[in-house]
A = this chain, B = another copy of it.
Amino acid sequence: MNGAESLVRTLLGSGVDTCFSNPGTSEMHFVAALDRVPGVKCVLALQENVATGAADGYYRIAGKPAATLLHCGPGLANGLANLHNARRARSGIVNVVGDQATYHRPLDPPLTADTDGWAAGVSAFVRTSQSAAGVGADAAAAVQAARTAPGQIATLILPSDASWNEGGAVAAPLPVPAPPPVDAGAVREASRVLRENRDVLILLGGEAVHEPAQHLVWRIAQATGARLLTEGSNARTERGRGRLALERIPYANEPAVKALAPFGHIILVNALPPIGFFAYPGKPNRFWREGAQLHVLSRPEQDAREALQALADELGAPRAPIPDSGPRPDVPRGKPSPEALATAVAAVLPEHSVVIDESVSYGRGFFRNTHCAAPHDWLMIMGGAIGAGIPLAVGAALGLRARGRNDSRVVALQADGSAMYTVQGLWTQARERLPVTTVILSNRKYQILLGEYMAVGANPGRTAMDMLDLGRPDIGWTRLARSLGIEAAAADSLEDLADLMRQSFRHQGPFLIELSI
């Protein structure tokens, strides 16, 4: 058995059976092994950032890591931005990157690059297999690292001779370490803070925004009067009817500071201290008020549900039913606004959909008007590297298949500028006939940057508009989608959008709607 085959068999034995790939010559023996050993579903991406973003989306829905297969050096580089997003989402990924043969690399052939160095910035685990004999054990360690709570990126670099040489040995799965236990002192401290103060915010992150934790946190809030917010971005929020109507910390620094101003105490549940995405001259970059105290109930790698259960018990908080979020709305008519678009989505969204939200500036108010939708998962871009949405939709749709949720639909609310970074992912949606409805929010500009530019204090001139405007020429989204094998239509009004969305839900494969906003 060669090293490549030991890798495939070890991955399969460790439960990794999906691979988002864009291989090159140095990975050909691994491709051959994937061909020879049945069991791994290989999904081709036409650019690597689609593969890595898909692996992120897959983890968020399937709850287990997929592998990627990336070409040496620059192939990895092309996928780094969505690995960055995946790292911030705390998604587990087994990132397999080929490399030059160990004896060839010192000659510095043209494709040689800083594979290790590039991987280090996004990976909790980086290992280069030195020989075929070690590949299996290295792969088992990589899967273990990827599965370590809350989910990590493990990069396994595979020199081509470690792949083609004989002597490969399949390694048994390694145990997944238990999350660090909940800290009883932190639970008592949070309980004391909640009992003694009326100005307490409980800030939720990670799995604290999943439904089981919501029931607990609602009991705690009801018993103590604490207010609830989530982090500004969340990898997967369980939302809609029957779930808590959680609001997020606003994105922009001034509204965020205002939102947190009432609170003298902030209890962090798998959340990080709330800070700005960016700093601005003369403005605060920390969101909590001067003198407010931060209390960590649980860190992102701990079990939020266990921590909240312990806190509810410590407080003796009685059961409290989650309030009804109201009836599903009707579809509004006319031109879109952010609020009306959110209402339209809430009106038509099927049960147990997955919403991918890369709506950027237009979507900041989407939450308020979608609490009353059918139960759904809401996935956001986590690291701020735009170009996550289309790949996340690919991975989420395959994650649904992995869970047998064949009736669920992925609905991607996708800003046009961001969509262009990884537009190649539409082709993968077509090839795999994925149940994805993409709504392109087409405003033909980098609206978020125009806002930032104005905040700098000036109206943009010709040179600035050359960099902020996406018109001249306008991108023809329906034509573009069709060129990549996806059915598509355009909508100018919310009633047309709703009709097209409903039509797409009856459709087997992907569908794209260009909505002029």
Contacts and interface: CB of A to CB of B under 8 A. Distances in A.
A379 B373 CA distance: 55
A423 B423 CA distance: 9
Contact of A453 (B31, B75, B160, B473): B31
A109 B278 contact: yes
A257 B474 CA distance: 51
Nearest to A69: B467
A437 B29 CA distance: 37
Contacts of A273: 107
Interface string A261-305: 000000000000101111101000110000000000000000000
Contact of A32 (B100, B383, B385, B456): B456
Contacts of A35: 458, 460-464
Contacts of A464: 31-32, 34-35
Contacts of A485: 473-475
Contact of A25 (B34, B118, B385, B448): B448
Contact of A109 (B74, B277, B472): B277
Contacts of A91: none
Contacts of A424: 420-421, 423
A62 interface: no
A449 B382 CA distance: 34
Interface in A423-460: 423-424, 427, 430-431, 448-449, 452-453, 455-458, 460
Given A100-B278, A431-B473, A81 B74 contact: yes
A109 B467 contact: no
Contacts of A44: 466-467
Nearest to A272: B108
A459 to B, nearest CB: 9
Interface stretch (A195-203, A346-354, A407-415, A476-484): A476-484
A121 B111 contact: no
Contacts of A24: 449
Contacts of A430: 473
B475 A427 contact: yes
A78 interface: yes
A449 B84 contact: no
* Copy count, this protein chain: 2
A25 B480 CA distance: 28
Interface in A23-66: 23-26, 28-29, 31-32, 34-36, 38, 40, 42-44, 46-47, 49
A466 B69 CA distance: 13
A176 interface: no
Contacts of A121: 113-114, 117-118
A477 to B, nearest CB: 7
Contacts of A462: 35
A111 B458 contact: no
Interface of A: 21-26, 28-29, 31-32, 34-36, 38, 40, 42-44, 46-47, 49, 69, 73-75, 77-78, 80-81, 84-85, 88, 100-101, 103-104, 107, 109-111, 113-114, 117-118, 120-122, 160-161, 164-165, 233, 273, 275-279, 281, 285-286, 382-385, 387, 417, 420-421, 423-424, 427, 430-431, 448-449, 452-453, 455-458, 460-464, 466-468, 470, 472-477, 479-480, 482-485
Cβ-closest 10 pairs across A and B: A473-B485, A114-B121, A74-B385, A104-B279, A480-B483, A77-B80, A74-B81, A479-B483, A111-B384, A101-B279
15 contacts: A21-B467, A32-B457, A35-B461, A35-B462, A40-B463, A74-B80, A109-B278, A110-B277, A118-B121, A160-B278, A165-B281, A420-B427, A421-B424, A475-B484, A476-B484
Given A73-B385, A479-B480, A480-B483, 7 more contacts: A23-B449, A78-B81, A78-B387, A114-B121, A423-B424, A431-B472, A473-B484
